[in-house]
Structure 1
Amino acid sequence: MRNLKNSSNFHQIFIILFYILFIILILFITQFYSNLIFKYFNLKNINELIENWEFNEYNKKASEKEICHSLKSNGEFYKKKLNSELNELFNLIENSTNKLRNEKIYLKFVNIMAIGKNISINLNDLKINEEKNQLLNLLGDYFYNKIFKLQNPKNCKIARFLVCKLEQFCGFGCVMHHISFCLSIALGTNRTLIFEDDGIKWSYKVRWNDIFEQITNCNYKDDVLPWLPIKKYKNISTQIERHLFLDRRSDIPFEVNYQPEVFPKEFAEILFNFHSNPSLWFHGQLIKYIWRESAVIRELLDKIEAKIPFVEGPIVGIHVRRTDKYKEARTHNLKEYFKWTDFWYDIEYKRQQKQINYNNNNITLNNIPPPRIFIASEEPKSVIEEAKKYWNGFEEGDPIRYTKDSLLAIMAEIKILSQCQFVVCTFSSNVCRLIYELMQAIQGKDMSEAVQSLDVYYTESWKCKNMEVIDNYNKLLNNKNEINANKGDIIEISRPLWNGFVYASFNLELN
């Protein structure tokens, strides 16, 4: 999309709005189809499918085209497409120079978004919607039990291990993603994941088992260390077969089978119909398993979480990335975050207003809970000062990084944010991506559209993202900064510009 530069672009906006209404109509039709699919799966013996499945059966990650074409067969594709189109349009409007015109379009835009949201809610029979979420939770519980079984073998002396060295020079989000990387490969190769030195050496000044439950019932000192170094044994191949060592992820110069983003293809048909990003959902299950707090830590975190009034209405979260991240990613001021929180609440307020009018009941707009925002940051003092321009009532706190207290603080923030209905953060941050992934498992439903990034698109390891071109695009004449693209091409996106354009190049290997 091009920026608004003249009056003709004003008419283009309304054409796009009409196009969005058309997508909503398609969503209306496909939602019925999605409900029929659910009834079909409800009649199938899903338990028989999951009972006979093993982790070593899941395949390499599905290609972008496979995912795209599979999603087109159900309503989830059109929901995702609608949300993507609306976000790009919103950014286009925000980049316009005519602010007065923008305000008028913005109000129409919010109105259409509210209508689309209500259509989606009203089309979903509440009972069917609840049963869909129950099915996702059933699958989540099943995978949890399968992981637990593999991680706790009956005989550690004959178990096959993947030995994972915890990262010692990165923060909590980075460590969690390294462990989920190891766990994904361990599951795919049918091995038990075990930490080198049982997780004693890592970024924080506490042992892993002081904070979380043990990753396995096996012990590095007893079940791995006696066999080292491998080269001293006569039967080297046997020992390598039993013990596979995985060092720092950044030291591996190639893609490894079963590394994220993957999901079990045997469950693809189910997952594609009930979640718009199956690999994200599956990765959320891995994070959920890793994130099993010890009893003492769980009690402390529960007390912190209990202070957040989730039962009183929706809460929107903000994670502001500062401190040691200046060199990694561009800093964003709070105004950029609040643009999206205000947008979400404007739509939610309008949606509830329309729902009240539609139901014609005694509820009034005065009964709608006031907007609530939870702000988390590694540098709270400066963020609080900035936030006071918009909101009041923040309490200051400045924990020391890489201590037990700071670890508890960031764990509490992540758990609280993962329970919010909408979160604004930056996907260049491991913590932001961790919130997004954990959200899928904690909330037990499709929350793939519940996070807005201010910088890059989501990928598990903050790398370039492959996307399929959905329509032909011819660049402007004499514009060296643009490329022509044909429908079906795969392009590699480094980052979006959030004005309708992205930095991208052709993925020659996939094309």
Structure 2
Amino acid sequence: MAGTDKLPNNNQFASKPQRNTLAEIKKIVQERIERLQNPSNCKAARKFLCWVKVHGCGLGCQLHHIGICFMMAIGTNRTMLLKIESKNYPTLKSLDKAYLPLSKTCTEWLDKEFEKSKGFNGNRIEEISKDEQVVNRLIKGPFRPYTPFAPNSYPESLKYKLRPFVSEPQIWWFGQVMSFIMRPQPKLYQELEEIKTELEFLHPIVGVQVRRTDKLHLESEYHPLEEYMLHVDKWFNHYDEINGAQATRRVFLATDDETVLQEAREKFSSYTFLSLTNNTLLAAKAHRKTEESFWGIVQDFALLSQCDHVVCTFSSNIGRLVHELMIARSDSPLRYATSLDAEHYSWGEITMLRKVIKDHDPEKNGELQLRVGDILENTICRKTCNGTNSRNGKRGFYPKEKIKALPATAEYAAMTDLFQPS
């Protein structure tokens, strides 16, 4: 009888960890960053003064520099204050017009404060300058990580919380950092809503970023439009199969080459292509360092990150940023970016170990033999991967689908006790 059922013993569940949803985890993380960045007493707060002084670097590159500084600040439980100096891209001084300030209560420092503070120092395991109230970091170019608070790591406190939801926790974490940095100003948010209405930017929609001009032959190889659209077709086919109906095939196309949109409409007539054509013209080399071009890149980037899927190249900082934000903001496994060239990587990243998940026997000169369980070091992945097998010390190439990443966790001081009862 129902009346004789025993009530559960609440103590039997006491040792089981609480299962948070991914949305709850994101909310807790963002609230903790917000609290760190808005101390009640800025003068007494522990501070991280970040001075980005890189002169050959566009918007995506500069934002990633800021993100790396921010990871160090969060890792050492300090409020980050930012200064940017860039001769080659002066419009980055307008960042505050597009994105909310990092802090409401702690916003500026004097040059003499930077000069008096100690340089941020560590030994890849701990922060040596941890007893200093104020530390500084001047970013002028590439450096090797000397603390655990760098791309390819994520907070130890999130390790088991993210495991049921996220296959690339290190990218999810970097995306949370970048999401906070890139919170839109009300003007940008309103402008984007108006653009989406005008373009009929409706879901489902796949973004395509075709970067040519300065990137071509310098950082990225040429990829024909057909190669991008092959992945767009694949995504929509999968989407239609899941939903049991054929969706209208919309593509938001962002490019710096004005011929690409015309080519797309001529070759792929079954698709509806949306594009901000004026932004394409402004992205040309002759206009790229103007205020209007800066705002156009911000618009294109924001709309790409709001697509359901994106096809791009990760040799572009913008492509990698889109991927980071899509993973950080979404609960859907279908929402991420596909790269035609490199896998996701970051400047200043910690070298990540990879584990072999499928045997591989060499098929040509230079390839490694892989056995399940082997650990690979010093890995660089493009279309294939190149690394060292720790089992025998041999270095060579191998297929990237036969390995999985082993991202490191670190004790980010500002992220401890995230899930303790209040």
TM range (shorter): 0.7 to 0.9
Once residues 220 and 44 of structure 1 are traced to their aligned partners in structure 2, the CA distance between those partners, rounded to angstroms, is 41
1:164 aligned residue? 50
User: Residues 455 and 145 from structure 1, CA distance in 2 versus in 1: closer, same or farther, beyond 3 angstroms?
Assistant: same
Q: Shift of the alpha carbon at 1:411? A: 1.9
Once residues 466 and 448 of structure 1 are traced to their aligned partners in structure 2, the CA distance between those partners, rounded to angstroms, is 26
Residue 375 of structure 1 is aligned with which of 240, 245, 253?
Answer: 253
The question of whether the paired residues in 1 share the 8 Å contact of 2:209 and 2:312 is answered with yes
1:49-68 to 2 correspondences below 5 Å:
none
Q: Shift of the alpha carbon at 1:320? A: 0.8
Pairwise CA RMSD of aligned residues? 3.1
Q: Shift of the alpha carbon at 1:409? A: 1.8
Residue 250 of structure 1 is aligned with which of 122, 135, 141?
Answer: 141
1:175 aligned residue? 62
User: Residues 184 and 462 from structure 1, CA distance in 2 versus in 1: closer, same or farther, beyond 3 angstroms?
Assistant: closer
Secondary structure of the residue aligned to 1:414 is helix
1:429-444 to 2 correspondences below 5 Å:
429-443=316-330
Question: How many pairs does the alignment contain?
Answer: 354
Residue 213 of structure 1 is aligned with which of 100, 103, 121?
Answer: 100
The question of whether the paired residues in 2 share the 8 Å contact of 1:414 and 1:431 is answered with yes
Secondary structure of the residue aligned to 1:247 is strand
Q: Are 2:167 and 1:276 aligned? A: yes
Residue 314 of structure 1 is aligned with which of 204, 207, 210?
Answer: 204
1:37 aligned residue? none
1:108-507 to 2 correspondences below 5 Å:
135-166=21-52, 167-196=54-83, 199=84, 203-205=89-91, 206-216=93-103, 217-221=105-109, 224-230=110-116, 241-248=132-139, 250-309=141-200, 311=202, 313-326=203-216, 327-353=218-244, 365=245, 368-379=246-257, 381-391=258-268, 396-397=277-278, 398-399=281-282, 400-443=287-330, 445-447=331-333, 450-461=336-347, 466-476=353-363, 479-491=364-376, 492-497=378-383, 502-506=384-388
Secondary structure of the residue aligned to 1:194 is strand
User: Residues 349 and 150 from structure 1, CA distance in 2 versus in 1: closer, same or farther, beyond 3 angstroms?
Assistant: closer
Once residues 382 and 448 of structure 1 are traced to their aligned partners in structure 2, the CA distance between those partners, rounded to angstroms, is 30
Using the size of structure 1 for normalisation, the TM-score is 0.62
Secondary structure of the residue aligned to 2:362 is coil
Amino acid at match of 1:269: Y
For structure 2, the residue ranges without an aligned partner over 5 or more in a row are 1-12, 119-127, 394-422
Secondary structure of the residue aligned to 1:339 is helix
Secondary structure of the residue aligned to 1:345 is helix
Identity %: 28
Q: Deviations over 1:299-330 (max 9, x none)?
A: 2222223335454x411111111121121111
Once residues 136 and 392 of structure 2 are traced to their aligned partners in structure 1, the CA distance between those partners, rounded to angstroms, is 31
Once residues 186 and 231 of structure 1 are traced to their aligned partners in structure 2, the CA distance between those partners, rounded to angstroms, is 15
1:5-154 to 2 correspondences below 5 Å:
44-45=17-18, 135-154=21-40
Once residues 426 and 510 of structure 1 are traced to their aligned partners in structure 2, the CA distance between those partners, rounded to angstroms, is 33
Once residues 433 and 496 of structure 1 are traced to their aligned partners in structure 2, the CA distance between those partners, rounded to angstroms, is 14
User: Residues 227 and 310 from structure 1, CA distance in 2 versus in 1: closer, same or farther, beyond 3 angstroms?
Assistant: closer
1:110 aligned residue? none
User: Residues 350 and 294 from structure 1, CA distance in 2 versus in 1: closer, same or farther, beyond 3 angstroms?
Assistant: closer
Once residues 447 and 352 of structure 1 are traced to their aligned partners in structure 2, the CA distance between those partners, rounded to angstroms, is 15
The question of whether the paired residues in 2 share the 8 Å contact of 1:459 and 1:465 is answered with no
Q: Deviations over 1:167-222 (max 9, x none)?
A: 443111111111111111100011111113xx47573424332332221232434x
Q: Deviations over 1:97-118 (max 9, x none)?
A: xxxxxxxxxxxxxxxxxxxxxx
Using the size of structure 2 for normalisation, the TM-score is 0.74
Amino acid at match of 1:345: F
Once residues 333 and 408 of structure 1 are traced to their aligned partners in structure 2, the CA distance between those partners, rounded to angstroms, is 27
User: Residues 282 and 337 from structure 1, CA distance in 2 versus in 1: closer, same or farther, beyond 3 angstroms?
Assistant: same
Once residues 470 and 200 of structure 1 are traced to their aligned partners in structure 2, the CA distance between those partners, rounded to angstroms, is 45
Secondary structure of the residue aligned to 2:188 is helix
The question of whether the paired residues in 2 share the 8 Å contact of 1:422 and 1:451 is answered with yes
Once residues 385 and 153 of structure 2 are traced to their aligned partners in structure 1, the CA distance between those partners, rounded to angstroms, is 25
2:121 aligned residue? none
Amino acid at match of 1:215: L
Once residues 243 and 182 of structure 1 are traced to their aligned partners in structure 2, the CA distance between those partners, rounded to angstroms, is 14
Amino acid at match of 1:461: W
Q: Shift of the alpha carbon at 1:283? A: 1.5
Q: Which has the higher strand share?
A: 2
The question of whether the paired residues in 1 share the 8 Å contact of 2:47 and 2:81 is answered with yes
Once residues 250 and 201 of structure 1 are traced to their aligned partners in structure 2, the CA distance between those partners, rounded to angstroms, is 12
For structure 1, the residue ranges without an aligned partner over 5 or more in a row are 1-39, 47-131, 354-364
1:18 aligned residue? none
Once residues 179 and 115 of structure 2 are traced to their aligned partners in structure 1, the CA distance between those partners, rounded to angstroms, is 33
